[in-house]
Structure 1
Amino acid sequence: MTDVDSQFLRGLFDEEGSLHTAGRTALYRLYGLEGLLYVGISVCPLTRVRTHLREQPWGPHVIGIQIDYPDDAEAAERETVWTERPKHNVIFNGRTPPTPPDRAARLRAELALEQRRLEEFETAVPESSTHLRLIARGIKAKRARIAKLTKEVKDAEAAPREVPERPKRVRS
């Protein structure tokens, strides 16, 4: 990535800081010459995009970015990956949708995701005092969500397992 690219993204981040109001989660799409490269979600999408540009082998191929703020970003991400088939997404990009795991497994996966997002917040370097406040707000929200999910995981693991009822065979 060139200095011009870095300056461009830094400028976008400074100019668009107001997009992060109310802690909404963004759905972002990264495009290359061959089409959609990657879809992701983040509360700080431009910081996340910069990370992709810096760390992913396909980062230098990104030529366009689209950022939306859907009501349910996680559901929108699953649907977008499933329908638009970005080249570099691994999760949700199979031939058939993943089978829903049991409640405890789903909660553990969500907990791991929230912990990863908390790490992203904690390692983010603020560009301005506004971004610092947004990052601090995001850290606080993620810690609360992690505490809630941890309790739900324990409750789900302690609950008796639901065994799906087998369909009855009809004999002729």
Structure 2
Amino acid sequence: MTNVDSQFLRGLFDEEGSLHTAGRTALYRLYGPEGLLYVGISISPLTRVRTHLRDQPWGPYVIGIQIDYPDDAEAAERVAVQAERPRYNVVFNGLNPPPPPDRAARRRAELAAERRRLAEFEAAVPESTAHLRLITRGIRAKQARIARLVREIEGTGSEQPKQ
């Protein structure tokens, strides 16, 4: 890749800024001329990719980017790295990958994030009846998700989440 190409890619991210993902975690793949270079996850994938392009020694070789939004980005990252063997991933690329993260801890973190999002929905001031319907639907969806996460955490036998 020429310097002009690298500058063009970097320029795209500077103009684009951070990708609004509505709180979802993205799974991104970075490709070079010879194949997959890196797989990662981020809630702000374009900003993270821009950091890789700027800071990693392999950044100038990135010629392609793929961004997906799987339901469980952490698990998808683990599977992608183990199956696709990107050249510059370290953590899951070894013979003995680390154990899976504690499910209850991950659910508690997810619960905290869902509660923050619910608070944002509840604090929103509707501009019209259509906005009110969308906000009400969002609040109900977040309340249902929080209730499900609380049930899952209680089912793991770990300590109760704090309200």
Give the structure-1-normalised TM-score: 0.53
1:94 Cα deviation after fit: 1.4
Aligned residue pair count: 108
2:41 partner letter:
I
**Alignment-derived partner of residue 4 in structure 1:** 8
In structure 1, the gaps of 5 or more residues are 112-155, 157-172
SS at match of 2:49: helix
**Alignment-derived partner of residue 60 in structure 1:** 60
**Alignment-derived partner of residue 98 in structure 2:** 98
Q: Sequence identity of aligned pairs in percent?
A: 64
2:35 partner letter:
G
For residues 23 and 99 of structure 2, the distance between their equivalents in structure 1, rounded to whole angstroms, comes to 30
**Alignment-derived partner of residue 149 in structure 1:** none
For residues 75 and 99 of structure 1, the distance between their equivalents in structure 2, rounded to whole angstroms, comes to 12
For residues 45 and 82 of structure 1, the distance between their equivalents in structure 2, rounded to whole angstroms, comes to 21
For residues 99 and 78 of structure 1, the distance between their equivalents in structure 2, rounded to whole angstroms, comes to 10
Give the structure-2-normalised TM-score: 0.55
The correspondence of residues 103-122 of structure 1 with structure 2, limited to 5 A, is: none
The correspondence of residues 146-165 of structure 1 with structure 2, limited to 5 A, is: none
For residues 99 and 51 of structure 1, the distance between their equivalents in structure 2, rounded to whole angstroms, comes to 27
For residues 84 and 96 of structure 1, the distance between their equivalents in structure 2, rounded to whole angstroms, comes to 16
Say whether the 8 Å CA contact 2:70–2:76 is kept in structure 1: yes
2:67 partner letter:
I
Pair 57,69 (structure 1): closer, same or farther in 2 beyond 3 Å: same
The correspondence of residues 71-90 of structure 1 with structure 2, limited to 5 A, is: 71-90=71-90
In structure 2, the gaps of 5 or more residues are 110-157, 159-163
**Alignment-derived partner of residue 31 in structure 2:** 31
For residues 51 and 26 of structure 1, the distance between their equivalents in structure 2, rounded to whole angstroms, comes to 15
For residues 8 and 100 of structure 2, the distance between their equivalents in structure 1, rounded to whole angstroms, comes to 44
Pair 100,49 (structure 1): closer, same or farther in 2 beyond 3 Å: closer
For residues 83 and 12 of structure 1, the distance between their equivalents in structure 2, rounded to whole angstroms, comes to 31
Higher relative contact order (CA 8 A, sep 6+): 1
Pair 3,84 (structure 1): closer, same or farther in 2 beyond 3 Å: closer
2:68 partner letter:
D
For residues 42 and 91 of structure 1, the distance between their equivalents in structure 2, rounded to whole angstroms, comes to 16
For residues 74 and 86 of structure 2, the distance between their equivalents in structure 1, rounded to whole angstroms, comes to 16
